[in-house]
Amino acid sequence: MGRFSAWLVLLIVACSSYGLAEEGEDQTGHYTNTWAVEIHGGPDVADLLALDHDFVNLGQIGNLEDHYLFRHKDVPHRSRREAHHHTKRLGDDKRIQWVAQQVGRDRSKRGPIPQQPRQSDNPAPLTFIDPYWDKQWYLHDTRTSTNLPKLDLHVLPVWRKGITGKGVVVAVLDDGIEKDHPDLKDNYDPDASYDFNDNDDDPQPRYEETNENKHGTRCAGEIAMAANNSQCGVGIAFNARIGGVRMLDGVVTDAVEANSIGFNIQHVDIYSASWGPNDDGKTVEGPEKLARAAFEKGIREGRGGRGSIFAWASGNGGSNGDNCDCDGYTSSIYTVSISSASQQGRSPWYGEKCASTLATAYSSGEYKDQKISSTDLHHACTDSHTGTSAAAPLAAGVLALALEANPDLTWRDVQHLIVWTSEYDPLSSNPGWFQNGAGLWVNSRFGFGLLNAEAMVDMALTWKTVPEKTICEVRLENFQPRTLGNGEEINIEMETDGCQGDSHVGALEHVQVKTTIDYTRRGDLRIVLTSPSGTQTTLLDTRRQDKSQMGFQDWPFMSTHTWGENPQGKWTLTIEDKSDHAENNGVVEDVVLILHGTPEQPAYQSGGRVYTDYNRVQDDRNVDKFAAKPAPASAAETAPAPESEDRVPISEPVDSADSVKIAKTPAKETEFLVNWQDRLAGDGSEFNPENSDPFQPAEPEADTFMDGGDLRPWEAFKYLHRQMKSPTRPRHPAQAYYKPSPLYIRDPSLDIRDPSLDIRDPWPSQNALGESEADLVNYYLQLLGYDP
């Protein structure tokens, strides 16, 4: 094993805090009886030092040279209190460069959720005998008409090229995988597997009545279920090798994460991770020292120097108002952050917004939508895998296809390919899309769009490696701390020439803003970065659950939204308090702008991105080519047309349930969303969703109807529909409902009744409706096919 290069040694310098939780992160979890130490001189020296201090040396931490894990037999394996005297004793020994008592962290599995192309040698239709194949709607086009939206990841044309993941190794970092499962055993790779919870080479999950440890097996099946074996379904890279790293079913420390992230980096090509800090809307946490070093070593040395690939789920905290910009794993420049889209092509209720999301794969949506099919525990199958947990493995499978097509792709090549081939069109009816200064469509919920396997593979076949990376740091000379209070905002301007010289950045990849902010209520802050090209990126949105006074300490907010832009010019960072908490106050202590990119524009970007009409492509079974078209003008203009070109008519408020005649109930989601798009575009002066108070967003450009804490019109619409169609107690929407699903909790600021009544329904009683609210109920009635 080669020694660390100088840059990595500098990265893991001695820590005067003796390894407490990283500054700016929430100190959650419990202390363990293990310590990570940095000792130079080799394993014998480490053994001697362990004995000197009454510890046992458990060995080197993963592939991190000079880093060892010590255990003390007299310290409880789980404690709320730090064993500071042991930490201090080790830290005072001049032969020990760094020490940190290991803390068990909460890590949440991100699912399940309750409720030049080569010519094909075989143009015949692809058929599979696997029983769940017909349920894998996201892998093959199941449309009966090409006028319907296309829902799959465009995989069949890749398989026809003979590209099925051969020679690519994927490891699932999770709670283990059932290595003897009939649909996994033929592709199982023991060299890509280990158990860091029990420290052995068997990743078999621990079985219990609740089947809690099914998560890793489900993720693995999505990637590498064998094809045509009459078992479960078909993996997206069904000839790839699959391994499992068991690390979530036990105490998860920094050392456990580092071991897992850096496991066998010369053998494993892709790591799939569907977990992270709690998605509770109040946690700020990322990888600590050892895990960060493992990421760095992986991208520098993994795959023979081409870099390990990390596919990471973006998070399931949407209903908690969470923001994945506060998750240091999915917002790392080294991970491919993957979000979810439902079968309806919508952002699901659990989806999070953040500037770091790179692309999207399909997963579960609302209760009526199909979910993801895969392997399950006890040699079973499932069609109920959900959340971003299910999206990230699909992305890992697509990336395995690209690596088979071109094994020489670097970790940065892979990210460039994703940005340039992901599809805006199939998700274009969602709000929040905009074009950046390089002409790329991007969205904080979907990144650059839906993964397109064929486009990525075709581009990979003739890919030219992007230029070497450069980093430009922009610091303000003599920066003076800026105070901030309730309802206030500050603007910090930073001018740059892109660091002309050896560190010059002429074309952007990632952008980071590292900042220290002390504040009385962290969740009330909103941070927006504006590039010289005018691209506005929300680096942090408000989080109503986050009442922490810890602020941010050197926290690296990251964005991909300005990918491809020229960074030269004036950048503006806007930090504002969006609350009504009069006592709020704080200080912005420091700001550093970090630009990652290349000295010159990569060759593939010349001429700009040409988008294709993804929704109008012919059935994949015919392998017809897309017709190129210019980039779409706007999300609103590309929304699906309603059954009638006329908007839903406006009428008087509903007086009573007796005044309503029941007609047929057609599918009206399209009309609803088109009218909603009108609100986003600022159309209309009469009553319509765009000017009805309950629809008003918190900010002019916010897509609030998708946020967990705000009114979600389509959810309310469906709720009313279910109430009116109830077989046991059909009710008119003008009535008050006191026991609806807790999913539809209104923002208290929208209630127009006495809050002591604890109304949890999307709408209050008809008798209490104001004029616009009554009009809105009537609007819903018309959408449902009811005529006043």
Residues marked active site are found at 174, 215, 389
* Contacts made by residues 689-695, CB under 8 angstroms, sequence distance 24+: 689/713, 689/776, 689/779, 692/772, 692/773, 692/775, 692/776, 693/770, 693/772, 693/773, 694/750, 694/772, 694/773, 694/776, 695/776
The residue whose two tokens read 């993957």 is 338
What would the two tokens of residue 755 be? 């809050």
What would the two tokens of residue 66 be? 């000079």
Those residues whose C-beta lies under 8 Å from the C-beta of residue 607, and which sit 6 or more positions away, are none
CA distance 35 to 56: 10
The residue whose two tokens read 């002066």 is 685
Angle between helices 713-724 and 771-783 (to 10 degrees): 70
What would the two tokens of residue 724 be? 């009116």
Q: Which residues pair with 35 in a beta bridge?
A: 70, 101
CA distance 663 to 749: 35
For residue 271, give the nearest of 307, 227, 301 by alpha carbon. Answer: 307
Secondary structure (3-state) at 635: coil
Q: Could you say which DSSP state residue 262 is in?
A: T
For residue 366, give the nearest of 614, 706, 139 by alpha carbon. Answer: 706
Cα atoms found within 13 Å of the Cα of residue 614, Cβ hemisphere only: 28
The residue whose two tokens read 């094993």 is 1
What would the two tokens of residue 399 be? 């990336």
Specify whether the CB–CB gap between 578 and 488 falls below 8 A. Answer: no
Those residues whose C-beta lies under 8 Å from the C-beta of residue 781, and which sit 6 or more positions away, are 654, 660, 733, 787, 788
Cα angle value 561/563/569 (rounded, 5°): 90
CA distance 642 to 673: 9
The residue whose two tokens read 């969740």 is 523
Instruction: List alpha helices for 225-326, DSSP H.
Output: 254-261, 289-301
CA distance 587 to 712: 34
CA distance 574 to 354: 16
How many CB atoms within 10 Å of residue 123? Answer: 10
Q: For CA atoms 621, 622, 627, 628, give the dihedral sign.
A: positive
Q: For CA atoms 694, 697, 703, 707, give the dihedral sign.
A: negative
Strand pairing report for 335-341 and 372-376: unpaired
Burial of 743 (0-12, 13-18, 19+ CB in 10 A): middle
CA distance to 1, 19, 91, 162, 379, per residue, from 65 (Å): 8, 18, 19, 40, 39
Specify whether the CB–CB gap between 627 and 529 falls below 8 A. Answer: no
The residue whose two tokens read 């970090």 is 594
Secondary structure (3-state) at 388: helix
Q: Which residues pair with 435 in a beta bridge?
A: 441
Q: What is the dihedral of CA 40, 42, 43, 48, to 10 degrees?
A: -60
CA distance 228 to 147: 31
What would the two tokens of residue 728 be? 């046991």
CA distance 44 to 41: 8
